[in-house]
Amino acid sequence: MSVRVGVVLFPGSNRDIDAINGLTVAGAEPVILWHEQADLDGVSAILLPGGFAYGDYLRAGVIARFSPVMRSVAAFAGRGGPVLGICNGFQVLAEAGLVPGALLRNRGLRFVCRQVSLRAEHLDTPFTRELAGAGPLRMPVAHGEGCYFADDATLDALEADGRVLWRYVGEDGEVAAPDERANPNGSLRGIAGVRNAAGNVAGLMPHPETAVESILGSDDGLGILRSLVVSAREYAQTGELSGVRAAAAVAAS
């Protein structure tokens, strides 16, 4: 069964076509959601792609969070719908308070564009469920503000609650420290992606949508997009997601 997955398009988005292609390869029917619209066109999952939403003026993602479509995205997430933000999409989600932490300027203060290796920390989530048996994942990064930051208490809580989904790793598979080359931006504890308290919203800095075909160097990102598509299909059929917490449980935590 084909499932509709929305791709939010802001002025300045530049990975929307890659996201549409990746979702198509993963078995979804992509639907463009323009930043000025409030109607989500009946989608069962949402992907916020990379780029420079509203030119990244003031700070990456800070203007996009106020767009009409983001109010609808927040409401969709509040109902338990699966939402994934990639790169600039992660920045938008963080600015909107839909995922914890902040994305700061890269430690070297330079734009970084190269392949990195990731390790999925949990395989029972809406965004990793199709990664079982996979080793380190190879995919590109392309960002200037990708350094994941949060205070120690928040980081400890994320670790304890299983909300760190992906980390940068070196050739030995070990987590890359902020000053190691395998960590492209200096992210604390090697964090490349996290999810919200409920578990249905996630942000990821590397680009799985440009690693879905082996002819381009890697198809390791396909498992992440397939996970989103499988979760969208589940949400469309049942109105619920496996591997997430009920709203009441989140409110009580």
Tell me the catalytic residues: 87, 207, 209
Handedness of CA 245, 247, 252, 253 (dihedral sign): positive
Q: Which residues contact 153 (CB under 8 A, 6 or more apart)?
A: none
- Between the alpha carbon of residue 94 and those of residues 63, 146, 194, 203, the distances in Å are 12, 11, 10, 8
Residue given tokens 């000025």 in the structure block? 36
- Could you give the residue ranges of the DSSP H alpha helices within the chain? 16-25, 68-78, 88-95, 152-160, 222-238, 247-252
Question: What residues pair up with 213 in beta bridges, in sequence order?
Answer: 218
- Could you give the residue ranges of the DSSP H alpha helices within 83-178? 88-95, 152-160
- CA pair distance 249, 223, nearest whole angstrom: 29
